[in-house]
């Protein structure tokens, strides 16, 4: 019975982008999860609106190949993201493994993304909150590289790095990365996260030197 269950592809039903609300955090590295949700909403023509019950901007509609999907940008601030995620999963009775969480990662260079089916928070406070509220580490996540701070050994430098904005050259790369993310997410919806992992985890968008 367990083997049959494991063989089933993991298909997301809720996609959550992590970030902080407010104009001062807009377009910062730490808010790349929000940008992904905005991009997916645009591509799939899903309207996002503030939903107090879900503590975030929420929308639902049809995505790649007519798959029903829900999108969420928590407005709880990063450290309490799990509250909003749990509010949606409780309301729709969604299992944790159907939640795909998208967020920034300093351990990955700009131009890389990494899909996983489970794992620890890796020091990311939004993920710590998601794991605490879902009660498990077994749910898919997509990490998007934002590169490390120049002097990453100093905590203040790391904070200013994640809350800073991409350079003009990095922003060009991130535009391409967003296209890549849309492809990875759409494949996850059609054929499962495993399939998307095998095709997208080794891809890199490189910065041009011109």
Residues noted as catalytic: 30
Whether 36 and 102 have beta carbons less than 8 Å apart is answered as: yes
118-144 burial: b if 16+ Cβ within 10 Å, else e: eeebeebbbbbbbbebbeebebbbbbb
Using alpha carbons, list the distances in angstroms from residue 129 to 9, 80, 106.
26, 6, 18
The sheet with strand 141-145 has its strands ordered as: 49-51, 56-63, 67-74, 14-17, 99-105, 141-145, 113-116
Residues 165 and 179: their CA atoms lie apart, in Å, by 19
């Amino acid at each position: 019975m367990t083997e049959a269950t494991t063989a089933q592809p993991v298909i997301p039903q809720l996609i959550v982008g992590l970030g902080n609300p407010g104009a001062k955090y807009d377009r910062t590295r730490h808010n790349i999860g929000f940008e992904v949700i905005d991009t997916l909403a645009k591509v799939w023509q899903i309207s996002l609106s503030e939903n107090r019950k879900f503590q975030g901007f929420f929308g639902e509609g049809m995505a790649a190949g007519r798959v029903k999907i829900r999108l969420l940008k928590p407005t709880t601030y990063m450290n309490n993201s799990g509250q909003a995620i749990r509010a949606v999963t409780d309301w729709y009775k969604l299992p944790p493994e159907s939640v795909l969480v998208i967020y920034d990662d300093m351990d990955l260079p700009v131009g890389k993304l990494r899909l996983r089916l489970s794992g620890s928070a890796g020091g990311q406070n939004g993920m710590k909150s998601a794991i605490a509220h879902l009660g498990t580490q077994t749910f898919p996540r997509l990490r998007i590289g934002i590169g490390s701070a120049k002097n990453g050994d100093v905590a203040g430098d790391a904070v200013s790095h994640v809350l800073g904005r991409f350079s003009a050259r990095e922003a060009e790369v991130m535009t391409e990365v967003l296209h890549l993310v849309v492809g990875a997410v759409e494949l996850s919806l059609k054929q499962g996260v495993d399939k998307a992992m095998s095709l997208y985890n080794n891809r890199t968008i490189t910065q041009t030197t011109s």
